[in-house]
Amino acid sequence: MRDGVAISSDSAGVVKTWDILTGLCKASFQTPTKGRIWRDVQLIEGRLIVVWHRDQKINIWDGEKGEFLQVVDIPGSSHSAVRISGDGSKVFCLVEKSIQAWSIWTGEFIGKVELKDYAQLDPLYVDGSKVWVCFKDSQTQGWDFGVSGSSPIQLSNTSLDAPHLNLVGGTKWETGPCIVKDAVTGKEVFQLVGRYATPDEVQWDGQYLVVGYVSGELLILDFKHVLPQ
């Protein structure tokens, strides 16, 4: 979610871009990403790039041209999360207790970080060549993979512009109901209920909550004015 555009991807391999302000579909693309698999989609300089992990490979797909950019082998990785970097130059893959990075444009291996425990890729923080993970004890840690000629550098904090609201449940570890809370007081300010209580996919960037359902419905909520900035 950036520049007023949200992107959805369903189990049939259809990727759509949506105007956040109007809720209207801007474009639709068919991709090979069928089924329930780890994937990520991003507009990079107006170019739709899709990455997914399947059969011990990271697949990088050009949506507009309808062709593969790269296919990267990851032997021994049967179940891994993937994330496109904020600057669109890299794809991160969470493999067991490690983060690995490759160039989207060349397929070249960039670097690797060993983690202290199993973790989830944090859906909130995506900035340049930096990536963050969330551990089960709620700790968040990040690394910068963009320093030329150097190993990934561990970051001292998660973000210079931390959001006022936190999403609890729905994404991290897939536990409990999808709730938005005040980051300072811990007070609940919103919860998905009723027919919207059990989403199939959730994305959150600190302002917009985008929720997808098996029915094909897409719900976009703007929390900009919920708390004073």
Q: With 70 as the cut, is the pLDDT of residue 1 above it?
A: no
Using CA atoms, how far apart are residues 3 and 18, in angstroms rounded to an integer?
11
DSSP string, 41-88: EEEETTEEEEEEEETTEEEEEETTTTEEEEEEE-TT-SS-EEEE-TTS
Using CA atoms, how far apart are residues 229 and 164, in angstroms rounded to an integer?
7
Q: With 60 as the cut, is the pLDDT of residue 172 above it?
A: no
- Determine the topology of domain 163-229 in CATH: Thrombin, subunit H (2.40.10)
For the ranges 77-86, 102-111, 161-170, the maximum mean pLDDT occurs at: 102-111
Q: With 90 as the cut, is the pLDDT of residue 60 above it?
A: yes
Domain spans of the chain, in order of start: 5-159, 163-229
| pLDDT score at 67 | 92
Mean pLDDT of the chain: 81
Q: With 80 as the cut, is the pLDDT of residue 145 above it?
A: yes
Percent of the chain with pLDDT strictly greater than 90: 16
pLDDT confidence of 173, banded at 50, 70, 90?
very low
Q: What is the pLDDT of residues 65-76, one digit of tens each?
A: 889 999 998 876
> What CATH code is assigned to 5-159?
2.130.10.10
Q: What is the pLDDT of residues 204-225, one digit of tens each?
A: 777 788 888 877 787 888 887 6
Compute the average pLDDT of residues 81-92: 89
| pLDDT score at 79 | 63
Q: With 80 as the cut, is the pLDDT of residue 78 above it?
A: no
| pLDDT score at 221 | 85
pLDDT confidence of 47, banded at 50, 70, 90?
confident
Task: Look up residue 138 and give its two tokens.
Answer: 């709620």
Which is nearest to 81 in space by CA: 49, 40, 137?
40
Q: What is the pLDDT of residues 105-115, one digit of tens each?
A: 999 999 999 99
| pLDDT score at 160 | 47
Using CA atoms, how far apart are residues 184 and 111, in angstroms rounded to an integer?
35
Q: Are 144 and 129 in contact (CB under 8 A)?
A: yes
Q: Are 190 and 145 in contact (CB under 8 A)?
A: no
Amino acid type, 127: D
Residue with the larger pLDDT of the pair 99 and 137: 99
Q: Using CB atoms within 10 A of its CB, is residue 36 exposed (0-12), middle (13-18) or buried (19+)?
A: exposed
